[in-house]
Chain A
Amino acid sequence: MIEFKNVNYIHVNGIQALKEINLSIKPKTINALVGSNGTGKTTLARHINGLLKPTSGNVLVFGKNTKKISVASLSKRIGMVFQNSNHQLFADTVKNEILFGLNNFETDSQIKKNRFEWALNFFDLKKYENTSPLKLSGGEKKRLCIASVLAWNPEVLILDEPTVGQDQVQKEKMLKFISNLNKQGKTIIIISHDLEFLWPLKPNTIVMAKGRIKKTGKMTDIFSDDELLNQTCLMRPQLLDLWMKLNIKEEPPGDITEATDAIRRINGS
């Protein structure tokens, strides 16, 4: 679905941000791009919707080379939500904000209406329909940004640091949204430093360091590798850490409820 073939990218300021990237992202999966600051995670993600074109190598999206397609036509199938919500919001009302992308991509007015209603309801924004986006809280703004992208129903959703500035309640809501979207068949790519947030999603994890992909695989395998964690300055998620310290052989739990159940079961109580 998305393939990086020997991709190198050099910024206009001469810094090489991506080095020999080979990567394949399968449809209907949740993927996490992790790594310390400045390792090229966002740069890699921007290659997927064609905002950046590789200096050498090729990025193939749905079998097409991104060098030969415009950002607009790629964006129709690949939605990207940026880290800073304020960089995206400009319309006078929540309604117009959601309609912006829809108006650019969708011509059928009935589909437009249906998608608009779906986005408002799915992201719990109905009561703010005629409110200025600037009056929303940080969490609501983030939801609006995602809603305004998902409104035109892209097949792939890229989320750049979706949990920045979000409280625990908003994070849990976000987790449910992502999980539901994946169940609906969307491919999700999340760029995040928040490993505790990613852990319950059990994503296919891509670890980056100094512009290179260090390792890809299941989150449990990646975060069991002490040497890799040391090299990439990543911290092991707490539940996995607990499982490893207790030396429990079972599959690590996704959340605290699963963990409690598993420990009770092991103890026979």
Chain B
Amino acid sequence: MVVKMYWISKGFIFTKVDSFVHKLDPRVKLLISIQFFTLALLVSDLIDLAIIFIGIILLASISKILSRLIRTMLFALLFSGIILGINIIAGYSFIYSLQIALRFVAIVCSTSIFFLITSPDELEYVLRWFRIPNDLVFAFVTAVRFVPIILLDALQIIDAQKSRGLELERGNPITRIKNFVPILVPLIVNEVIRSGELAEAMESRCYGVVKKPTVLYELQLNINDKLAIPFCTSIFILGLLFSI
């Protein structure tokens, strides 16, 4: 189970890869992600959704993160199964329910792909570029940075409790949920302690002394970015026209 968790988690965590897409300006990456997201929200039939999936898979292939995106897709498919079931129980047709479920997967993938190709540092620069208050940017980016750390903590805790005889996959569904208490309590306590320590460490390094701290690098569009924007936007507009 731990190995499975680790395997799936890699579908949500940024890793530096040498690819054309990774080198793009983070604002361009965000634009592409928003375009996929918007199309996933607007399209209504299965063929349109299939085209969006092909687009996302193509982008992931160029970015050399296809194997990671597949993990995200599998994770989203678990939840989409629930969505499919609920819609069918609610009396909607199978085709309609399937559209809703797949749309959910497309939305998750279009969001996930942005986080898979954008480092937390780049994310920080984008948010600052949008003039979002510094405290909010810091809180959000820190949360993103801490995802892999929290995951490692969770894996350590699972190992520690398994060594004391905890069997996560034992018992009926209610018992299985209860089995997670010895995992969740230390995990939450640890993260609360860590957040307190982090706040103190930041304050002792002068966090909050100036309202708007300066940055080392400024975002600048290069030639690849200037070509990627019209290219992606024209495909997006075509997609919009096609779906409407």
Q: Which one of A20-28, A70-78, A173-181, A232-240 is at the interface? A: A70-78
Whether A87 sits at the interface, judged by CB under 8 Å, is yes
Q: A12-B6, A82-B156 are in contact. Are A90 and B185 (CB under 8 A)?
A: yes
Whether the Cβ atoms of A87 and B7 lie closer than 8 Å is no
Interface size class of B (residues with CB under 8 A): 20 to 34
Check if A213 is an interface residue, CB within 8 A of chain B.
no
> Cβ of B189 and Cβ of A134 under 8 Å apart?
yes
**Residues of the A chain whose Cβ atoms lie less than 8 Å from the Cβ of B160:** 80, 82, 87-88
Q: Please, which residue of chain B has its CB at the minimum distance from the CB of A51?
A: B159
Q: Which residues of B contact A72 (CB under 8 A)?
A: 162, 165-167
Does B165 contact A87, Cβ atoms closer than 8 Å? Answer: no
CA distance A181 to B183 in the complex (A): 29
Binds B, one of A1-9, A100-108, A115-123, A246-254: A100-108
Q: Are B157 and A87 in contact (CB under 8 A)?
A: yes
User: How many chain A residues touch the partner (CB < 8 A)?
Assistant: 26
Known: A86-B189, A87-B153, A90-B182. A51 touches B162 (CB 8 A): yes
Residue A148 CB within 8 A of the other chain: yes
In the assembled complex, the Cα of A80 lies from the Cα of B166 at a distance in Å of 13
A224–B44 Cα distance when bound, in Å, is 75
Chain A residues near B139: list those with CB within 8 A: none
Assembled-state Cα–Cα distance A82/B161 (Å): 10
* Chain B 173-200 interface 0/1 with A at a Cβ cutoff of 8 Å (1 = within): 0000000011101100110010000000
CB of B164 within 8 A of CB of A100, answer yes
Chain A residue at minimal CB-CB distance from B194: A86
Contact between A104 and B164, CB atoms less than 8 A apart: yes
Residues of B within 8 A of A79 (CB): 163
Q: Is B78 an interface residue (CB 8 A)?
A: no
Contact of A71 among B162, B182, B183 (CB under 8 A): B162
Interface string of B29-54 (1 = CB under 8 A from A): 00000000000000000000000000
Instruction: State whether A88 touches B165 (Cβ < 8 A).
Output: no
Cβ distance B184 to chain A, nearest Cβ, rounded Å: 8
What's the Cα separation between A19 and B32 when bound, in Å? 45
Q: Does B3 contact A (CB under 8 A)?
A: yes
Q: Please indicate the chain B residues that have their CB under 8 angstroms from the CB of A134 in the complex.
A: 189
* Chain A residue at minimal CB-CB distance from B165: A104
The reply to whether the CB of A33 lies closer than 8 angstroms to some CB of chain B is no
B10 CB → nearest A CB, Å: 9
User: Of all chain B residues, which has the CB nearest A84?
Assistant: B156
Complex Cα distance, B166 from A139, in Å, reads: 25
Question: What CA separation (Å) do A218 and B207 show in the bound complex?
Answer: 51
A88 touches B164 (CB 8 A): yes
Q: Are B185 and A80 in contact (CB under 8 A)?
A: no
Q: Once the chains are docked, how many angstroms separate the CA of A88 from the CA of B187?
A: 9
A90-B181 contact in complex given A82-B160, A101-B165, A104-B164, C-beta closer than 8 Å? yes
Taking A87-B190, A100-B182 as given, write out 15 further A-B residue pairs in contact, using a Cβ cutoff of 8 Å, ordered by the A residue number: A12-B6, A72-B162, A75-B162, A75-B163, A79-B163, A82-B156, A86-B190, A87-B156, A87-B157, A88-B161, A88-B186, A90-B183, A104-B164, A105-B165, A148-B164
Q: List A residues at the B interface (Cβ < 8 Å).
A: 12, 46, 49, 51, 70-72, 75-76, 79-80, 82, 84, 86-90, 100-101, 104-105, 134, 148-149, 152
Question: Can you name 30 A-B pairs with beta carbons within 8 Å?
Answer: A12-B3, A49-B163, A51-B162, A70-B167, A71-B162, A72-B162, A72-B165, A72-B167, A75-B164, A80-B163, A82-B156, A82-B159, A86-B186, A86-B193, A87-B153, A87-B156, A87-B186, A88-B160, A88-B161, A88-B164, A89-B189, A90-B161, A90-B182, A90-B189, A100-B164, A100-B182, A101-B164, A104-B164, A104-B166, A105-B165
